[in-house]
Amino acid sequence: MDSDAILTAVNAAESMVNAPHEPERSSYRARKAMEEVIHLIFLLCGIVAVAFVLLISLYLILSGLPAIREIGLFKFLLGRVWDPTNTTTGAQFGILAFILTSVYGTAGAIVVGVPVGLMTAMFLAKAAPPRLAAVIRTAVQLLAGIPSVVYGLVGMIVLVPAIQKAFSLGSGACLLAAIIVLAIMILPSIINVSETALRAVPREYEEASLALGATETETWFRVSLHAARSGVATAVVLGVGRAIGEAMAIIMVAGNVANMPGLFTSVRFLTTGIISGMSDAAVGSLYQQALFSIGLVLFLFIMLINVLLNVCIKRRKED
């Protein structure tokens, strides 16, 4: 009887101990299943993003290669004349002027915009009073939200006539106007990312510099900026991407003429070349295929710039 009583007591104790754990196990299994579902959703989102890039790349390659094969690679990339509708002497599809204009315009915008944006970010992160900083940040955010067509409209009404009058030109729609508009448009990206990078610098770095006798300005530029260089480089990458891919504002201030680039010459960028030609090109014609080829060149150009800048950033981080 004693052994039976003991076994009964043990079984009762086990049932009392195991009973509360059953709901916990089922709840754990449910959370685990939900976690796996969420991970699957994340994976699908990543696959969709990669798939879009691959599909766009594949479409541009398939649509752009036929024209390049028919025209000739070197004749297409190094040709100085773009005249696709000439039926007298034959159509010409040289895009060297477009490529150089895009390079010069983007480089000019970076040369003008990066120092202004970086100095503004330094002021907001280190020197500006809180109230003034809040006002400037609000203005920068509003600047980022202005549509491209508004930049182009203001540039066409205000900037183009000002350049024409200042330099006594026949037309103020030129590369200089495009550079100024692009420089203004890339400011929000550079300011926001650079300010975030500068604020992330540990305060101990600056305190050590000040303790060694450096002034605040020397500390900001020699210590804080150096520590935040990877973030600033990322801001420059975003600025380059915004500048080289802009079309609507540029077509309104650059003149949209297929000339070799000059500071006071009406020019046409790769992006504006595609926009201006799509309405005139017949479906399936060599002209339309050449426009797809320009898109392919622009796509590869942007990828090359991003890869080179990312490699430079990675090497600096390793150093």
Dihedral through CA 41, CA 47, CA 52, CA 56, nearest 10?
A: 180
Digit-coded pLDDT (tens) for 268-307: 999 999 998 888 888 888 999 999 999 999 998 888 888 8
Contact 175, 265 (CB under 8 A): yes
Contact 154, 187 (CB under 8 A): no
Give the C-alpha separation, 66 to 84, whole Å: 16
Which secondary-structure segment (H or E) carries 163? Answer: helix 160-166
Q: What integer is the mean pLDDT of 153-177?
A: 94
Digit-coded pLDDT (tens) for 166-188: 999 999 999 999 999 999 999 99
Give the C-alpha separation, 184 to 140, whole Å: 11
**Alpha carbon of 237 to those of 83, 191, 198, 252: distances in Å?**
33, 13, 17, 25
Q: Residue 192 carries which side chain, given as an amino acid letter?
A: N
Give the C-alpha separation, 298 to 73, whole Å: 15
Digit-coded pLDDT (tens) for 34-85: 888 999 999 999 999 899 989 998 998 998 899 999 999 999 999 999 999 8
**Alpha carbon of 235 to those of 121, 147, 240, 246, 308: distances in Å?**
11, 20, 9, 17, 14
Q: Could you count the other beta carbons within 10 Å of the beta carbon of residue 299?
A: 17
Give the C-alpha separation, 314 to 319, whole Å: 9
Give the C-alpha separation, 294 to 297, whole Å: 5
Note the pTM of the prediction, 2 decimals.
0.84
Distance of CA 176 to the CA centre of its chain: 22
Digit-coded pLDDT (tens) for 185-213: 999 999 999 999 999 999 898 889 888 88
Report DSSP state, residue 255: B
Residue in this structure with the two tokens 């006798």, named with its chain if needed = 213
